[in-house]
Amino acid sequence: MFSMSLVDRDSVVVWHPYSDGTLFNSEIAIVSGKGAYLYEADGGKYIDAVASWWTNIHGHSHPHIVQKVAAQAGKLDHVIFSGFTHEPAILLAELLLGRLPGNQKKVFYSDNGSTAVEVALKMAFQFWYNKGEIRNKVIAFKNSYHGDTFGAMSVSERGAFTKPFENLLFDVIYLDVPVPGKEVEILSELSVILAHSKSQIASFIFEPLVLGTAGMLMYEPKVLDALLTLCKSAGILTIADEVMTGFGRTGKFFACDYLTTHPDLFCLSKGLTGGTMAMGVTSCTLPVFEVFKSGASTTFFHGHSYTANPIACSAAIGSLELFERAETMEAVIRIEQLHTDFVQKIGKSKKVKHARSRGTILAIELLSDSGTSYFNTLRKQIYTFFIARGILLRPLGNIIYVMPPYCISTEDLNYVYLAIEEFIDSL
Minimum distance between the CB of residue 105 and ligand PLP, rounded to whole angstroms? 22
Name the catalytic one among 48, 241, 264, 412. Answer: 241
| Closer to ligand PLP by Cβ: residue 228 or 291 | 228
Would you say 288 and 99 are in contact if contact means Cβ atoms under 8 Å apart? no
Say whether 241 is catalytic: yes
Residue 175, phi then psi, degrees to nearest 5: -120, 135
| Closer to ligand PLP by Cβ: residue 250 or 269 | 269
Name the catalytic one among 8, 18, 75, 222. Answer: 18
Give the separation between CA 21 and CA 15, rounded to whole angstroms: 9
Say whether 182 is catalytic: no
Question: What DSSP line would sit under 366-410, residue for residue?
Answer: EP-SS-SSTT-THHHHHHHHHHHTTEE---BTTEEEE---TT--H
| Closer to ligand PLP by Cβ: residue 100 or 194 | 100
Give the separation between CA 329 and CA 383, rounded to whole angstroms: 29
| Closer to ligand PLP by Cβ: residue 194 or 362 | 362
> How remote is the C-alpha of 15 from its chain's centroid?
23
With contacts defined by CB under 6 A, how many residues of the chain interact with ligand PLP?
Answer: 13
Inter-axis angle of helices 410-426 and 326-346, to 10 degrees? 20
Beta strands at 45-48 and 217-218: parallel, antiparallel or unpaired: unpaired
> What's the Cα-to-Cα distance from 204 to each of 139, 176, 229, 235, 247, rounded to whole Å?
5, 13, 12, 11, 22
Minimum distance between the CB of residue 112 and ligand PLP, rounded to whole angstroms? 4
Q: Out of 48, 157, 241, 264, which residue is the one contacting ligand PLP (CB under 6 A)?
A: 241
59 binds ligand PLP (CB under 6 A): no
Say whether 270 is catalytic: yes
243 binds ligand PLP (CB under 6 A): yes
| Closer to ligand PLP by Cβ: residue 206 or 417 | 206
- The stretch near ligand PLP (CB under 6 A) out of 83-91, 183-191, 237-245, 393-401 is 237-245
> What's the Cα-to-Cα distance from 73 to each of 31, 78, 314, rounded to whole Å?
22, 9, 9
Q: Out of 36, 57, 96, 117, which residue is the one contacting ligand PLP (CB under 6 A)?
A: 117
Residue 168, phi then psi, degrees to nearest 5: -100, 0
| Closer to ligand PLP by Cβ: residue 50 or 419 | 50
Burial of 214 (0-12, 13-18, 19+ CB in 10 A): buried
Per-residue interface string for the shown chain with ligand PLP, residues 248-287, x marking contact by CB under 6 A: ---------------------x------------------
132-161: contacts with ligand PLP (CB under 6 A) = 145-147
Residue type, 347: G
Say whether 232 is catalytic: no
Active site residues: 18, 145, 241, 270
Can you give the binding site for ligand PLP, defined by CB under 6 A? 112-114, 117, 145-147, 207, 212, 241, 243-244, 269
